Structure 1
Amino acid sequence: MNSATPWWLDSSWVLSVIPVIFTISEDALSNVPPSLIAASEALGASRWQMVRTVVLPVASAGIFSALMIGLGRAVGETMIVLMATGNTPIMDWNIFNGMRTLSANIATELPEAAQDSTHYRVLFLGGLILFSMTFILNTLAEIVRQRLRKRFNVV
């Protein structure tokens, strides 16, 4: 990928995430009770109405979980993100120019940082911030998933 290509056009990070999202979403959709599908068809709902009003709401917690796991994998894949974003440490106001994520910054700069230097400690602080952000995001995602599960509980 050359430096003129925006990071979001590189497909390597997308190709690593799609199988995970697809597999988990497929499991969520296939675990919708057949009795609900049969009941909606018996009441005269078309196939699209059945999918929109029965299948998607019941499977919404699983689909949301699949998206969050896929997002976590996309962010956690350090080297794919490093290559996709162009590995440029220069910060720019345009989000479509190259950038460097926290995990990529740690992976790139930690081998060259002198032990017990300020640079070394700042990289560990970046790791702590990354862990904290991940923990908060996962906690919020779990709260949303539980609310979706309660809202569309069928059993």
Structure 2
Amino acid sequence: MLIATPLALCGAIYTAYFMTPVVRRKVKPLIELMEALPTVILGFLAGLWLAPFIEKNLPGVFSIFLLMPVGVLLFGFCWSRLPDSLRLRVPDGWHAVLLIPVVMFIAWACVAASGNLELLFFGGDMRAWLTYDLGISYDQRNAMVVGIAMGFAVVPTIFSIAEDAIFSVPKSLSYGSLALGATPWQTLVGVVIPTASPGIFSALMIGMGRAVGETMIVLMATGNTPVMDANIFEGMRTLAANIAVEIGETEVDSSHYRVLFLAAFVLFLFTFVVNTIAEIVRQSLRKKYGSL
């Protein structure tokens, strides 16, 4: 959710509020198409391609997380300083297209510089540095790999629902705010997002529900170790994956069998409580902002 929430919500806000309709009609179906990918394929890619890639390029992966926001903000600042004769050549709503080569270049540069960063800061082996210098064990299939894979799997769900909620805000509210002298950002923060907040909150809860109940990605990309701690570089096993792994080898009516049913009940109870609280909050937001 830490990966999926900012990507999905920021993408939904830009797509629904700032993007030109021509681009929106191409971007929205493309992102929603990601949701149709079978989770077993995502788990297969996460376990057999993403996990070795991250292990091989650990400094580059962390560099992407650090430098990507900085690079995008720096590009936006430089773009704002260009002469109006150049900036006005790009129609409103098409600016996101300019970021595609920037994002690709930053990602490529970070991965390409991974080996040099490893030699410069970690003695040529960041994994060994984590293990021997910091005392942090590292497994190839770990919680960080699952976080990245599951984050991208949850993005389409959150994006689609949040984008529909923001796009469905009546235009009369936006136009009225702009007519009263508010800037587009003030209108977005003060009018559009509060009005769409019930739908945005529902998108987050549905995305979290999918993340909690997901089995195949977690099953194939975590190592499924039953002994876990707070280290994101070690394997893990979720309740859903635990049931899927062990249900085939347990004896009916044994203690193991009953524990698996208890795990299923705990999973059901957790999702039931979270969804109930989410519905109460959503109804409260709808009542609060429905008068707008």
TM-score by length of structure 1 reads 0.92
The yes-or-no answer on 1:8 pairing with 2:126 is: no
User: Structure 2: which 5+ runs fail to align?
Assistant: 1-50, 53-138
The count of corresponding residues between Structure 1 and Structure 2 is 154
- Structure-2 change in CA distance of 1:82 and 1:5 (3 Å): closer
Q: CA deviation at 1:9?
A: 3.6
User: Structure 1: which 5+ runs fail to align?
Assistant: none
TM-score by length of structure 2 reads 0.50
Q: What is the aligned counterpart of 2:285 among 140, 144, 148? A: 148
Q: CA deviation at 1:24?
A: 0.5
Counterpart-to-counterpart distance in 2, 1:88 and 1:27: 39
CA contact (8 A) 1:8 1:84 kept: no
Q: Which residue of 2 aligns with 1:104?
A: 241
CA RMSD in angstroms comes to: 1.5
CA contact (8 A) 1:7 1:86 kept: no
Give the 5 Å matches for 1:116-127.
Answer: 116-127=253-264
The yes-or-no answer on 1:85 pairing with 2:249 is: no
Q: CA deviation at 1:12?
A: 2.3
Q: CA deviation at 1:91?
A: 2.5
CA contact (8 A) 1:28 1:63 kept: yes
Counterpart-to-counterpart distance in 2, 1:54 and 1:40: 8
Moved over 3 A (4+): none
Identical aligned residues as a percent: 57
Counterpart-to-counterpart distance in 1, 2:290 and 2:145: 39
The structure with the larger Rg is: 2
Q: CA deviation at 1:5?
A: 5.5
The residue identity in structure 2 corresponding to 1:122 is V
Counterpart-to-counterpart distance in 2, 1:147 and 1:82: 37
